[in-house]
Amino acid sequence: QDVRSLHALWGVLAAKLDALGRRAWLEQDCALLLAQDPVTPVDQIFSRLKGARSLDASAQCEALALVEWREERARRRDRPRRWILSDEQLVGIARARPRSVAALAAEDVPKKLAEHAGHDILAALERSATSDYPARIARLSDAEKPEKHQLRELQARAKARAAELNIYPEVLATKQDLVALLMGRESVRVGETWRAAELRPLLEGLE
C-alpha cells in the first residue's frame, strides 16, 4: 500500500513543503544522504553504544572489538547489526569478560550464536588487548566535551524551536549535532543545510 500510494502522497507532501517554503530543506537533506558513506565507521558506532562508557578501559576495548566483529558479521550475512547481537548483550559480554563458550552462553547470548560464533566472539575479546583498541579508546575518551548544563540548555532550546517548526527535535538536531555546535565544529548535517540558520541563534546567551 505504501508503494501504491507513494506517487499521490508525494504530490500532497510537495505542496505542503512549497507552502511552508521548505522544498529546499528536503533537497539539501537528500543531497546530504546521497553524499554519505553508507558504511558507518566502527568507532562512531561504538561512541553511540549505550552503556559502554560505564565500562572500565579494558572492557571498553573489548566492547569496541565486539562492535567491529558484529559489523563484519552483519555485512557478511546482510543482516541488521542488532539482529546479530543487541547493544545490551554486547555491553554485557564486555562487562562479564567470558573466557569460554560455556561462560559466553550464560551471558544472555542467543544459543545458536554461542554455538556457531562463540569462538569468534572469544577471539575478538582476546584481540582487544593486543591490537590498536586501547589507543582508539583513549582518543575517544580524550575527545573534548561541552559543559553538561550548556548541552541541556541547548537541547531544551532546540526542542522548543522544533515544536515551533512542527517537526521532530531529531530532525532539527541530534545530540551529536548539538555537541559539535557547542564545541565550535558544526557537523556536516548542520553546517551545509538549512539547520545552520535555525540552530546558530540558539547559542546566543548560553552560560
Q: φ and ψ at 7, to 5 degrees?
A: -65, -45
In degrees and rounded to multiples of 5, residue 49 shows phi and psi of -75, 110
Q: Report how far apart, in Å, the C-alpha atoms of 166 and of each of 9, 158, 159, 161, 171 are.
A: 19, 12, 10, 9, 10
Distance CA 21, CA 17 (A): 6
Measured over all CA atoms, what is the biggest interatomic distance in the chain, rounded to whole angstroms?
Answer: 62
- What pLDDT shows up at residue 53? 87
Supply the mean pLDDT for the chain.
91
pLDDT tens for 119-138 read 999 999 999 988 789 999 99
CB 207 within 8 A of CB 146: no
Nearest C-alpha neighbor of 82 from the set 95, 67, 93, 92: 67
Q: What is d(CA 203, CA 139) in angstroms, rounded to the nearest whole number?
A: 27
State pLDDT tens for residues 76-101. Answer: 999 999 999 999 999 999 999 999 99
Burial class (CB in 10 A: 0-12, 13-18, 19+), 9: exposed
Three-point CA angle 87, 88, 90, nearest 5°: 65
Nearest to 70 by CA among 100, 96, 38, 93: 93
Q: Is the pLDDT of residue 186 over 90?
A: no
pLDDT confidence of residue 110: 83
With a cut of 90, say whether residue 16 has pLDDT above it.
yes
From the CB of residue 132, how many other CB atoms can be counted at a distance below 10 Å?
Answer: 10
